[in-house]
Amino acid sequence: MNKKALITGITGQDGSYLAEYLLDKGYIVHGIKRKSSSFNTSRIDHIYKDSHLSSNLFLHYGDLTDASSLVNVLNKIKPNEIYNLAAQSHVGHSFEIPEYTSEVTGLGTLRVLEAMRFLNLKKTKFYQASTSELFGQKPNRSNSFNENSIMIPKSPYGVSKLYSYWITKVYREAYNFYACNGILFNHESPRRGETFVTRKITMFFAKKILGSKEILYLGNLNAKRDWGHAKDYTEMQWKILQQSKPDDYVIATGKTTSIREFVNLCCKYLKLKILWSGKGIKEKAYLIKNGKKELIIKIDKKYYRPLEIDYLKGNPKKALKKLNYKLKHSLKDLVKEMIDSDIKLLK
């Protein structure tokens, strides 16, 4: 019989790739989508055009802030696997809406776990979308973070995710749940939300190539992130739930790149000559063409966060070995894929 999976956050970047992946594997996929006044299914609409896949995909209204909706959906489906991907996932915005972020990204996880307990779903496996934002401080002895690194989050988002990380472990130990944390470092794709920095940059350069005169306003250019591809990472989410015992895994590439370097990678791909000048809030970037300078990037203080994690690099050794996985995408390929896709979208 086909396995049944429930994905919270199916309309998000990861949810959409995971849905495709599980449908391809023959799963019946159920997704929870929240009520919104405008359409929020653009990342999964294409699945409905594929009759082979769409017949096994079912969407239900629900919300991580609404416990009864979760109990109702879980009771109806009784899934073999739950992937809890729903969250208010923007770190910057979590400073502006901290209480809502805690409700969804923190307590929302408890509501799903409690629904499982209340309905006695003892055989259901649970995946929690944990994050590198749990780690706030560069490790003393090592230059990367692993499963044993100290967790000192630096945002309402990170704190909410820390709660979810621990409550997942508590339910594993207290009630013998098959519950796992995937501690994922940043992962991007053409489906990344446009307010996250990589997509903001690739969309800007796609517009520029098509003749736009816009200026790109960014925040902290020095922050370093470990960027992987969402497709690799969603495949590993599935693998985490296929192991004989539940466990927690860091998923990362083991490489780190600053925002400024990411911009440079985009220019390199597009064969654009870029010149940086100034420091801090006064830093600017120009395109050099035919001996002329065009201002393209400025800093806007509003994109600085009240508190920032300056450096993130993961150590994925345990995950790559135990899950027997080899990453398929490099950052260079990711930049190319995102820019090409944005140009196509704009055209």
Task: List the catalytic residues.
Answer: 131, 133, 157
Contacted by 34, from ligand F7E, ligand NAP, none: CB < 5 to 8 Å by type: ligand NAP
The b/e string for 264-278 (b: 16+ C-beta within 10 A; e otherwise) is bbbbebbebebeeee
Closest by Cα among 262, 317, 314 to 138: 314
Q: How far apart are CA 271 and CA 283, in angstroms?
A: 22
Q: Which is nearer to ligand NAP, 212 or 254 (CB)?
A: 254
Contacted by 147, from ligand F7E, ligand NAP, none: CB < 5 to 8 Å by type: none
What SS3 state is found at 61?
strand
In the bound state, the residue with its beta carbon closest to ligand F7E is 223
Contacted by 106, from ligand NAP, ligand F7E, none: CB < 5 to 8 Å by type: none
Fill in the per-residue mask, 308 to 337: x = in contact with ligand F7E (CB under 6 A), - = not in contact.
x-----------------------------
62-2-46 Cα angle (round to 5): 55
What are the residue ranges of helices labelled H in 12-66?
13-24, 45-48, 51-54
* By CB under 6 A, residue 87 contacts ligand NAP: yes
**Interacting residues of 197 by C-beta distance below 8 A, sequence separation 6+:** 218, 259, 262
Judged by CB under 6 A, the stretch of 61-69, 203-211, 265-273, 294-302 that binds ligand NAP is 61-69
* By CB under 6 A, residue 155 contacts ligand NAP: no
81-84 and 187-188 strand pairing = unpaired
Judged by CB under 6 A, the stretch of 88-96, 137-145, 237-245, 328-336 that binds ligand F7E is 88-96
* By CB under 6 A, residue 257 contacts ligand F7E: no
47-128-1 Cα angle (round to 5): 55
- Residue 18 φ then ψ, to 5°: -65, -40
Please say whether the dihedral angle defined by the alpha carbons of residues 145, 150, 156 and 159, taken in this order, is positive or negative: positive
> 280 exposed, middle or buried (CB, 10 Å; 0-12, 13-18, 19+)?
exposed
* By CB under 6 A, residue 252 contacts ligand NAP: no
Contacted by 308, from ligand NAP, ligand F7E, none: CB < 5 to 8 Å by type: ligand F7E
* By CB under 6 A, residue 163 contacts ligand F7E: no
Q: Contact with ligand F7E (CB under 6 A): which of 128, 144, 149, 186?
A: 186
Contacted by 195, from ligand NAP, ligand F7E, none: CB < 5 to 8 Å by type: ligand F7E
Closest by Cα among 171, 181, 187 to 243: 181
Q: Which residues bind ligand F7E (CB under 6 A)?
A: 89, 91-92, 131-133, 185-186, 195-197, 200, 218-220, 223, 225, 259, 303, 305, 308
Give residues in contact with ligand NAP (CB under 6 A): 8-9, 11-15, 32, 34, 36, 40, 63-65, 85-89, 104, 129, 131, 184, 186-187, 193
